Amino acid sequence: MQDVLAMTYLWLKSGHIIFMVFWMAGLFMLPRQMIYCHDAAAGSEEEALWAKRMGLLRKIILTPSLIVVWVLGLLLAMQSGAFSLGWFHAKLLLVIVLTGYHGIMVARSKAMARGERPLTEKQLRVYGEVPGILLAFIVVLVVVRPF
């Protein structure tokens, strides 16, 4: 029985890491696509193309990956008893913040697809750094487990 639980844990962990990479890749790509859309003339074919690309990124990569990361992460936490560990609480908080960032960027990319420009190009460039910073803190918490 221990072997089955150990193998299940490793499969869950592998899936969690794989889909976390997909999710992060999408979160890195979305602000960049938004910058390209921002530069396109309103109502142009180029704007429509970037709007389509942003929609596909959201539907094919971002949202499905977010869901799988959360499901597998919660299963891992339950299986390993991580809910009682301080480092996990900090990680969970940062993942909640990252999920909020995801929601904000999806909403703003949808607004851009409608022809609105809710953010400046400079703001988009700054927003593009957020996932990398959060990822760095999350990885340190998981690997180092400082508390």
Whole-number average pLDDT of the chain: 95
Q: Which tokens sit at 91?
A: 């990680």
pLDDT for 1 equals 63
pLDDT for 123 equals 97
What digits encode the pLDDT tens for the residues 79-125? 999 999 999 999 999 999 999 999 999 999 999 999 999 999 999 99
Neighbours of 78 (CB within 10 A): 11
Domain boundaries, the chain: 2-144
Residue 41 DSSP label: P
Q: Which residue has the tokens 């971002």?
A: 62
- pLDDT of 8 over the 80 cut: yes
- pLDDT of 74 over the 70 cut: yes
The full length of the chain comes to 147
Beta-carbon contacts of residue 77 (< 8 Å; ≥ 6 apart): 83, 88, 92
Q: Any binding-site annotation on 59?
A: no
pLDDT for 7 equals 86
3-state helix, strand, coil in the chain (%, to 5): 85, 0, 15
CA–CA distance, 134 with 146 (Å, rounded to integer)? 16
Average pLDDT over residues 16-26: 98
pLDDT for 4 equals 76
Q: Which tokens sit at 120?
A: 């400046």
CA distances from 8 to 42, 52, 64, 88 (A): 50, 38, 21, 20
Q: Any binding-site annotation on 16?
A: yes
